[in-house]
Structures are given as C-alpha cells and as structure tokens.
Structure 1
Amino acid sequence: MRFMLTALLWLLATVALAVALPAAWLQKNVVDLDGYAAFTEQAATDPALQQAVAGELTTQLVKLGYTGDQELLRDVASVYTGGADFPGQFAQANRFAHRWLFSDTITAGEDPQGRWVVDLAPMLQDSSFNATLERFDISVPETLPVPLTENAPDSIRPGQLRAVAAWGPWVSVGATILAGVFALLALASARSRGKALAALGVSGLFIGAAGWAGLEVGRRYVNEALANTSADVRQIAEALIRHATDSMHQWLNIALAAGGGLVALGVLVALLGGLRQRTVREPS
C-alpha cells in the first residue's frame, strides 16, 4: 500500500513537472508582454534576423513610394539594423504583434482583414532613415502594419489568446507548486529516500529528453505555419524560432542536469543507507 502511494505521488509529481517546465518558459518569454519584448530584443542581435528586417524595411519603403536605388536603400537599412538602436525598436514593434494576439483591446493600425501583423513604423521613423526619406519626399505613417501571414488560421485571430494571458501565470505557478508538493510527499512516503530521489531524477531526465524530442517534431508544424509568409518575414520568424528553441534547450538541459544529479544523489543515499543498516545488524 505504501509503495502504491509513493508511486502515485511520484507520477503526479512527474506530470506536474512536465506541465510546469514549458508553462513557465512560455509565461516568461511569450505570454508576458515585457518578457516577450525582452526575448525579441535579445533575438534582434542575430545577424540573420537583422538582414531579413533590412530587406522587409526596404520592401515597405518601396511600397511607400521610394523610386531610387534599392540596393543603396537596403545598405542604409542594414546599417540601421546592425546599430545599437535596432534591438529596442524591434522589441517595440513586437509589442504590437503581442497585443494583437493576447489582448482584446483594439489597437491603432489593426489589420482590417484580421491578419496577424507587426508594426514597422517605429523603425522607419528612426533617424537613420530621415535623410533618405526626406530626399524622396516619403512620409512614414504613424502605424505601418505588415502581415506575418496572408492566410492566418482561425486559431490565430485578434485577441484569440487573451484567455492564455489571463490564466498563464496561474497555470505556471500552480504546476510548479504542485510538482514541488508531490515530490516532497513522495519522499516522505517512500521506504527508501535514496530510491525516491533517484526516481525523481529519472522524471527530470525523462522530461528533458521528451522536451528535446518534442521540439524536433514541432519543427515540421512550424514550417507548415510559415508556408504563406514572404521570404523576409519567413527569415525573421525562423530567426525568432531558432532563438526560442535555443532558450528552451537551455531550460531542458537544466532539467537533464538536475535529473542526473538527483539520480546520483539517490544512488549515494541508497548506498549509505544500506551500509548503515548492515553496520547496525552486524554483532559488536
């Protein structure tokens, strides 16, 4: 009976941890507006993303009426995206896209067709472009929404994920607390603390390995979702996804390391416990 209770608590702790790890990552880097802005600002240091944004800015300026040398314009855009101001302004543009998806508040420049958009106006209004724009008599509007996909599925619509924004913190915190509580209860109910620690370590190893495998499988679905995007927008999205994958890999590696450490600690505790029991049983 005691073994069954311990096994049940271990299983509940494993399930709670499997929910807590991705939920905490998503809450920190995607659901939270400031966290997402910080995430995109860091991703904006990627040279591949910078070149893709420079290409998209060039495209938008041509649509606004630029008739000069496009290669020269792209060079100007590349200087801007490689500068110190770009990461912060890229993060600001992504705040627009985040609010579009996670908030039910209608924002200025919302796409009338309901497509997922990002506002490039703050970048085009940067001082790096002022001379070029004035030279060709181009005025940048206050907002310039650029669709991230032409045929967004019904699951990606304005405000579609506002419930996630409302419940995300509760899920991540609640799952983390439950994982800790169930783990402690499993340790308390186990006949052997060492074996219980090792079992919890196996949970960490399993979740870390499963996460790596899940990310690999998920790449196929991401590629399908990006099929309807333009070349530059696709490269921007792919750079963000690479950055997200690398960040999640770091979290999964921590889970693997912690799991391996608990397994080693559990084996050590079990060995020491066995030696102590043997010593007690031996006649003096």
Structure 2
Amino acid sequence: MRTFVSALAVILALLLTGFAVPAAWTERNIVREDGFVQLTDGLGKDPAFQARLAGIAVNNIEAALELPAPAEELGASLLQDAARNMSSWPEYPHAWNETVRRSHRLNFADPAGDPASQSAPPAGQASDQSTAQATDQPTPGAAGTSLVLDLGPFVNLLKDKLQAATGVQLTVPDTAVVAIGGPSQRQVVDRLAAFAPMWWPAALGAVMALALAVLAARRRSAVLLCTGIGLAVLAGVWQAATVLFSGLAGAGLGESAMGALFARELIAASAAGFAPWIGATAVAGGVLFLMGLLGLVLLGRRKPRTAPAG
C-alpha cells in the first residue's frame, strides 16, 4: 500500500508540474504587461513586419492629412521616407514598446468591463470590416472582439515629425486599431488570462504530492529516481511541443498579413523564451535521478549479506 500511494503521488506531482511550469511562464511573459513587452521587443525588428507597420501608419495619417499647398511636397517627401526608413528612427523603439503596451491592455482587458476596449475609436474608416482585416487597415469595432494592434504611437510619431518639418498643426486620432486575429484567437487569449495565474496552486500541489510520495515510500531513493526520469520526460514533451507549435507559425495564423507576421514572430519568441525553462527542468530531473541512483547504490551496499546454508 505504501508503494502504491507513493507511486500515485509521484504521478500526480508530475502531472501538476506539467501544467504549472508552462502556466507560470505564460503568466509571467504573456499575461503580464511588462513581460509581454520584453518578450516582443525583437518583433518590431523583423524587416517585413517593419514595412507593414510603417505602411499602415503612413496610409492612416495620409487619410487625415490636410496640408497647405506650400507644405504638401515636404510632407509627401517625409511620408515616403517614413515608409522606407521609419525603423531606423531613434524614436522607433519607444513607439513600438508603447504600441505593445497599448495592444496588451486591449487584448487582455475584459471586453464587457473595460471602457478602453469599448470606446477606443478607429483611426480610419474602411468600407467593409472583412476588407479592412484583409488589407491590414484600421478596423471599426475590432477592440474587444478580436486580437488587435494599436498603432497609434506610430501615427503620432509621424504627426510630430510632420509638424516639426512643416510648422503646421495637425490633428490625428490617438488610436489606430488594426485587427490581427478574430474572435477564435481572442478566446484563446481570454483562456490564457483566466488559467495561467493558476500555476501557483498547481505548483504547491506538486510539492505536496512529492512530499507525500517521499514520506510514504519504502525506498525514498526510488522516488527521487522516478521523479527525475519523469521530469526529464516532461522536458522532452515540452521541447517536442514547442517545435510542433513553432511549425504552426506558417500555417495561416492571424486573419491578415499583419496578423500572420505577428503570430509567426511571437511564436518564435515564445519558443526561444521557454527554452531555458525546459533546460532547467531537464537539469533538475537529472539531479534527482543521480541522487536517487546514488541512494539505491548506497542502500544496496549497506544490506547485510546472509550466510550460506549448511
């Protein structure tokens, strides 16, 4: 009975660990705003993604741009430069980080209870919502029902550049909400926000289950050995899952070209960010395995030898 209870406790500890570790990483790097900003810091450096960001910001401000005749040529020249070289501007990293922060607040806010998700006005109008999503244009009503990027910081950056160059005061909307995923992707985000913070009860349960296994076991070294093997298996499963999930990056995620690019880069960044956690789990498993193996060897040497009969 002690062996049976110990085995069940080890299995329970491993199952809880299998949930707790990925959930803890997700809560820290996806659900939390600061972690998400750090995780996505490199996304804005992808050339194709940069071109999309610049193109949308330029198109959006052109729609609301009314410059006097003497400043039209200068404004057009600056916008052309922005479309090609915005990513090289010193203000670009700050604008990208602010875009990520705004977008995180929209995507992880409660659609029913957050005023920002309901009242955030679109930066431009599209003739049809599906057309707007397909062409990466600002989408009316996207916030709260879809995954979105708020490119308002880039639009405001362009406004400041134009004002400084032309001396003309411009008025543009503060937000430029672009849909990058539909309601199904939004539901996934809502589930992550709901379940990821539950990692700590699972982690506490795993520790308690392992303690029970050690206390109930007839051979505690065997518990350590089996737990070490289980953690190594978990690390292998997580590694295989990240490779498989990374393969989905080119499988049409997102509902627009912008969404597909963002999903691809985010999945790649997530796989790279989770890799050290996988490595730490594998190392912990190896340490427990060696401890258990050493304990079994020492226990075998301490057993008294029975004298031969006769």
5 Å matches for 1:170-249?
171-226=198-253, 228-230=255-257, 232-249=258-275
Gaps of 5+ in 2: 63-74, 123-139
Identity %: 23
Aligned to 1:102: 108
Match of 2:236, SS state, is: helix
Residues 194 and 19 of structure 1: CA distance in aligned 2, closer, same or farther (over 3 Å): same
2:149 is the counterpart of 1:123: no
Q: Distance in 1 between matches of 2:226 and 2:78?
A: 65
Aligned to 2:82: 73
Aligned to 2:141: 112
Per-residue Cα deviation, 1:56-78 (whole angstroms, up to 9, x for no partner)? 22332134217447663234302
* Normalised TM-score (structure 1): 0.81
5 Å matches for 1:30-179?
30-41=30-41, 43-44=42-43, 47-48=45-46, 52-65=49-62, 67-68=76-77, 72-80=81-89, 83=90, 85-104=91-110, 105-107=114-116, 108-109=120-121, 111-113=140-142, 114-126=145-157, 130-132=160-162, 135=165, 139-149=171-181, 152-156=182-186, 161=190, 164-169=192-197, 171-179=198-206
Residues 72 and 140 of structure 1: CA distance in aligned 2, closer, same or farther (over 3 Å): same
* Normalised TM-score (structure 2): 0.75
Per-residue Cα deviation, 1:168-201 (whole angstroms, up to 9, x for no partner)? 32x1100110111111111111111221111111
Q: Distance in 2 between matches of 1:153 and 1:26?
A: 20
Residues 47 and 260 of structure 1: CA distance in aligned 2, closer, same or farther (over 3 Å): same
Match of 1:103, SS state, is: coil
Q: Which has the larger radius of gyration?
A: 2
Q: How many residues align?
A: 268
Q: Distance in 1 between matches of 2:249 and 2:13?
A: 30
Match of 1:234, SS state, is: helix
Q: 1:52, 1:233 within 8 Å by CA — same for their partners in 2? A: no
Gaps of 5+ in 1: none
Q: Distance in 1 between matches of 2:210 and 2:94?
A: 41
Which residue type is aligned with residue 160 of structure 2?
N
